[in-house]
Amino acid sequence: MPKVNAQWTVGPHGPVERIDEGLVTVAGEIRMPLGNFPRRMVVVALGGGRSAIWSAIPLREAEMEEIEALGAPAVLIVPGVAHRLDIVAWKRRYPDAAILCSPGARDAVAEVVPVDATHDILDDPLVRFETVPGFGGKEAALLIRRGDRVTLVVNDILANVRHPHGLGALVMARLMGFGVDRPKMPWLGKRLFVKDTKAVVSAFRAWAAEPGLARIVVSHGDVIADDPRAVLERVAGELE
């Protein structure tokens, strides 16, 4: 059984940041020796007064009220096998919320909480859950449409940790390639999880071709809003 927080354990986190209509993110930190490593939650409003939570992080009550104002948490998305730390606490707080993950992550997620689905159950034409090709089914992504703008949300396939806090976080970010200098695919994830490089390259280029791509939100690091299309094309080229 992996380590999880069964209780609502609030760690360091920032404010609720609105990045588009019905779409917010919160930057948190994972405590580690000699510094804290950044992590990020995304909350997207769905039709019917509901919301979906990506990579859930426990927040202070004032910020939780802001989250709940977007809609009742109906789907809790575990985007990858390493993002189970707080899902038990969130499921206890919202017992009616469904647990969603990609097919290849199901067994790992089910070790800590029952999984309800491994396919898109969001029931919203403007928000699409995807299993990213080429990663053995272990990585998920979201495509969120707001007017003519598209937000891509990804997990450990792309990182942008430009401001690691503390020596330990800096060393981890540099050694594992978490994007200290520029957004990149962490080398550890590439080595462990990439099963089909051509499929990964195709996925990145398909996202880059999305009309109106405005930003990429990553689970570790800053939101990528400066020419996200070029970032995807560059990373795809580096994989070839």
149-154 vs 127-131, strand pairing mode: unpaired
Domain boundaries along the sequence of the chain: 17-239
**Per-residue confidence at 35, pLDDT binned at 50, 70, 90?**
low
Quick one: pLDDT band at residue 31, thresholds 50, 70, 90?
confident
Mean of pLDDT values over 129-147: 97
Q: Is 13 helix (H, G, I), strand (E, B) or coil?
A: strand
> Residue 214 and residue 150: Cα distance in Å, rounded?
6
- Among the listed residues 234, 101, 240, the one whose alpha carbon sits nearest the alpha carbon of residue 179: 234
pLDDT at 1: 45
Beta strand extents in the chain (DSSP E only): 17-20, 23-32, 35-46, 50-54, 72-78, 98-101, 127-131, 140-146, 149-154, 213-217
| pLDDT on residue 178 | 62
Q: Are 39 and 161 in contact (CB under 8 A)?
A: no
Tell me how far apart the alpha carbons of residues 143 and 240 are, in angstroms, rounded to a whole number. 24
What number is the average pLDDT over the span 135-164?
91
The answer to whether the CB of 210 falls within 8 A of the CB of 143 is: yes
Continuous H helices in the chain: 61-69, 87-93, 106-110, 167-175, 187-193, 197-208, 228-239
> Model confidence over 76-122: pLDDT tens digits?
999 998 899 999 999 999 999 999 999 999 999 999 999 999 999 99
Residue 164 pLDDT: 57
pLDDT of residue 191: 72
Which of 28-37, 55-64, 142-151 is predicted least confidently? Answer: 28-37
Q: Which of 90-99, 149-158, 170-179 is least confident?
A: 170-179
- Give mean pLDDT, residues 155-177: 67
Encoded amino acid at 106, one letter: R
The pair of three-digit structure tokens given for residue 171, joined into one six-digit string? 């060393």
C-alpha count within 13 angstroms, C-beta hemisphere, residue 59: 24
Annotation: CATH topology of 17-239: Metallo-beta-lactamase; Chain A (3.60.15)
Query: Which has the closest alpha carbon to 23: 225, 230, 228?
Result: 225
pLDDT of 34 reads 56
